[in-house]
């Protein structure tokens, strides 16, 4: 019987594990991909908005030559932390269910990549799953085409191609800037009527400059209503404006992601139907199910950006203090 099982080995799950170690508990982490898979999914050359100190976990210094670290530096830091602290991580093993038993403990069932099923017992379970496996879908014809992706990794495959980006926040802007460097013809379709205030301040001037020079086509107050093999159809939001079609080779739907809460609800945790925020005590991160905790972005509602590594990394300390008091 494990004292604690953590589902998810992202930065917030790792942070929770380190905080539990600090109070004498060696948790088991279950991760359906590799450690910090969410960061692995980031664009290859992405630079964080935060400085390194705000990404540190467990009091372990994050040193890098740049004020704001890049994706590769973060991957190195978090996997190094996991290895040096000898965290017990079951990688490529997905938690399929959490069951509350009559004695107050939990049964966690997992499935590995070969279909093998394993059951674990635990007195406490911390759900620290991310949201990169669940993109916000557009719900329009053609979204299922192979030319459409919700993930942008590198610009090279789009060299010389006509690319439509849906969205106007940092992920869309970063992709547009990289695509420009490989000679892609970039069109951004954004429902907002002006530039997003969340755009990184050191990127925005260059981005706006490229739009002003006509190097990036920016369609404000617009939305894509249909995707076809060689085109996309755009509808301006202004009343009376007609749809128009633009030539297109690839679509990057940078529409954000949402946390998955099925594990929580199946275990009896309450989730607000409107905000999708789980019911939990902010002082302990414990849900309405005793012994079942949440950490990281899963504590946010529909707006997953409300919780970042910077804030989610502190959830583990609250959880560790609560569990320690019960031991």
Condensed to tens digits (0 to 9), the pLDDT of residues 105-129 reads 999 999 999 999 999 999 999 999 9
| Most confident stretch, 16-30, 50-64, 259-273, 275-289 | 16-30
User: Residues 181-217: pLDDT tens digits?
Assistant: 999 999 999 999 999 998 988 899 999 999 999 999 9
Residue 296 tokens read as 């990281």
Residue-level pLDDT at 308 = 67
Contacts 24+ apart (CB under 8 A), 229-235: 229/145, 229/147, 232/142, 232/164, 232/189, 234/189
Same fold, 5-134+257-326 and 148-253: yes
* 3-class DSSP assignment, residue 189: strand
Domain 5-134+257-326 has CATH 3.40.50.180: no
User: Residues 38-81: pLDDT tens digits?
Assistant: 899 888 888 888 899 999 999 999 999 988 999 999 999 999 99
286 CB-side CA count, 13 A: 14
Q: Is the pLDDT of residue 306 over 80?
A: no
**Nearest-angstrom CA–CA distance, 120 and 1:** 7
CATH of the domain spanning 148-253: 3.50.50.60
Q: Is the pLDDT of residue 310 over 80?
A: no
Q: Is the pLDDT of residue 298 over 60?
A: yes
49 vs 99, residue with greater confidence: 99
Order of strands across the sheet with 93-100? Answer: 93-100, 106-112, 117-122
Residue 109 tokens read as 């069932």
Lowest mean pLDDT among 190-194, 217-221, 282-286, 298-302: 298-302
Q: What is the residue extent of each domain of the chain?
A: 5-134+257-326, 148-253
* 3-class DSSP assignment, residue 209: helix
Q: Is the pLDDT of residue 83 over 80?
A: yes
């Amino acid at each position: 019987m494990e004292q604690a099982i953590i589902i998810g080995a992202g930065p917030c799950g790792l942070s929770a594990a380190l905080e539990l170690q600090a109070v004498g508990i060696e948790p088991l982490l279950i991760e359906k991909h590799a450690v910090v898979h969410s960061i692995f999914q980031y664009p290859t050359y992405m630079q964080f908005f935060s400085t390194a100190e705000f990404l540190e976990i467990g009091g372990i210094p994050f040193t890098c030559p740049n004020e704001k670290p890049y994706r590769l530096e973060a991957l190195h830091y978090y996997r190094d932390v996991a290895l040096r602290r000898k965290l017990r991580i079951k990688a490529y093993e997905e938690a399929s269910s959490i069951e509350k038993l009559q004695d107050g403990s939990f049964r966690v069932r997992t499935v590995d990549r070969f279909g093998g099923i394993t059951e674990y017992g635990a007195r406490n379970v911390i759900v620290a799953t991310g949201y990169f496996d669940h993109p916000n879908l557009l719900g329009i014809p053609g979204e299922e085409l192979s030319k459409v992706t919700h993930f942008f990794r590198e610009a090279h495959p789009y060299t010389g191609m006509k690319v439509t980006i849906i969205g106007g926040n940092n992920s869309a802007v970063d992709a547009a800037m990289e695509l420009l460097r490989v000679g892609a013809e970039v069109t951004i379709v954004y429902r907002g009527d002006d530039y997003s205030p969340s755009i990184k301040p050191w990127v925005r001037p260059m981005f706006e400059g490229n739009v002003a020079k006509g190097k990036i086509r920016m369609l404000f107050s617009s939305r894509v209503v249909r995707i076809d093999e060689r085109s996309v159809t755009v509808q301006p939001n202004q009343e009376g404006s007609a749809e128009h079609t633009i030539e297109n080779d690839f679509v990057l739907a940078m529409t954000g992601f949402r946390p998955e809460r099925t594990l929580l609800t199946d275990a009896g945790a309450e989730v607000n139907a409107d905000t999708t925020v789980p019911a939990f005590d902010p002082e302990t991160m414990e849900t309405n199910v005793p012994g079942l905790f949440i950490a990281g972005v899963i504590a946010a509602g529909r707006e997953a950006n409300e919780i970042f590594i910077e804030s989610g990394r502190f959830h583990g300390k609250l959880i560790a203090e609560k569990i320690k008091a019960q031991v």
